[in-house]
Copies of this chain bind each other. A is one copy, B any other.
Amino acid sequence: MPTTTWNRHHVLTLADFTKAEYNTVLQTAASFQEVLSRRTKKVPSLQGQVVANLFFEASTRTRSSFELAAKRLSADTLNFTSATSSITKGETILDTAKTYLAMGTDIMVIRHREAGVPQAIATEMDRLGVKVSVLNAGDGQHEHPSQALLDLFTICSVINPENPRLELLKNKKIAIVGDILHSRVARSNIWSLTASGAQVHLAAPPTLLPQLFADYVKDDGVGKCEREKIANSQSKIQNRNLFIHWELEPALKNADFVMTLRLQKERMTGHLLPSLREYHQMFGITCTKLQLCQPNVKVLHPGPVNRGVEISSDLMDDPEFSLIQAQVTSGVAVRMALLYLIGSGKS
């Protein structure tokens, strides 16, 4: 492991992550990626520690990824899913967390459909003066930091597998496409990617773009212009290089990476979308549309993918363009890194 200083006790948001922290995660994950290529993929780092996966919202992929990461660090794991929980018995979420604390949990990995729950639990743990760490595994439409960090690691590793670091993304053009409004993945990615100095371009239908971005529009008049005017233009936001598009093409043009987001099919019934077919035509990524991008463009998706909606089926399986499998593999290494950095801070 690289010798680094790491003082962060919880990982709840990427909003205040420093460049040094991003690089520590990237380097530590790179070390673990190397461990994972060995036949015996375990290290004893967290032996005797307990990682509790408290998933108040169902998840197979993220829960398995954290569970495997914990096991490969030799931690003991406890799994909690709300279906079999005391939540239905009237216990509060903080009480549940305190129960796992009292059992001797060292790290809590928390997913909840409400934004702010991991933060609330972390605040309570700090108030109690205990050493338990909280990892946000996705809270409502707020953040999903480990997903954004694994996306970052995946992208940086494409550019330099030996030495992935934040600076590699400087001036790269990265498009984030899809349901940005409801996406905690997008929110976390915007923090990490703009911190890297990349040019980040969001593309979504107006109904799936968050109102909040209006606050960031610079005082060059773009923020005040008519809806029609914005639609086909770009708006540079703050001093971060964040651009918003209501059409796909300007975001894809010369892009180095295209991050697609999962579309919740429920959005259809909420009248935020025309049809899945029309959505795919306008914002779905295909091999043809990729020709607008850099020749060596790569495509990401946090999964699970609705084939033929966010991404065409052939593109998804094309190893030349798709990083989807690499993201899953990175996920274990990055989560090992997070658990390791947080867990080692305890001793």
Contact = CB atoms under 8 A, between A and B. Distances in A.
Interface of A: 36, 38-42, 47-50, 58-61, 64-65, 67-68, 71-72, 76, 78, 80-81, 83-86, 89-92, 95-96, 98-104, 265, 303-307, 325-329, 331-332, 346-347
Given A265-B90, A304-B86, A304-B90, A100 B325 contact: no
B78 A64 contact: yes
A48 B42 CA distance: 6
B329 A103 contact: yes
Contacts of A47: 40, 42
A304 B102 CA distance: 13
Contacts of A306: 90-91
Contacts of A104: 36, 41, 68, 329, 332
Given A42-B47, A60-B96, A64-B78, 10 more contacts: A38-B48, A41-B50, A60-B86, A64-B103, A65-B103, A68-B76, A86-B303, A91-B306, A102-B326, A102-B328
Contacts of A48: 38-42
Q: Report the copy number of this chain in the oligomer.
A: 3
B329 A89 contact: no
A72 B64 contact: no
B100 A64 contact: yes
A191 to B, nearest CB: 25
A72 B80 contact: no
Contacts of A83: 84
Nearest to A327: B102
Nearest to A82: B60
A38 to B, nearest CB: 8
Given A39-B347, A41-B104, A80 B99 contact: no
A58 B331 CA distance: 27
A325 B98 contact: yes
B40 A60 contact: no
A321 B104 CA distance: 21
Q: Choose among A48, A60, A102 the residue with the greatest number of B CB atoms under 10 Å from its CB.
A: A60
B329 A68 contact: no
A80 B103 contact: no
Nearest to A92: B307
Given A90-B304, A304-B91, A71 B76 contact: yes
12 contacts: A42-B48, A60-B80, A60-B96, A64-B78, A64-B80, A71-B76, A81-B84, A91-B304, A101-B325, A103-B328, A103-B329, A103-B331
Q: Choose among A48, A59, A72, A83 the residue with the greatest number of B CB atoms under 10 Å from its CB.
A: A48
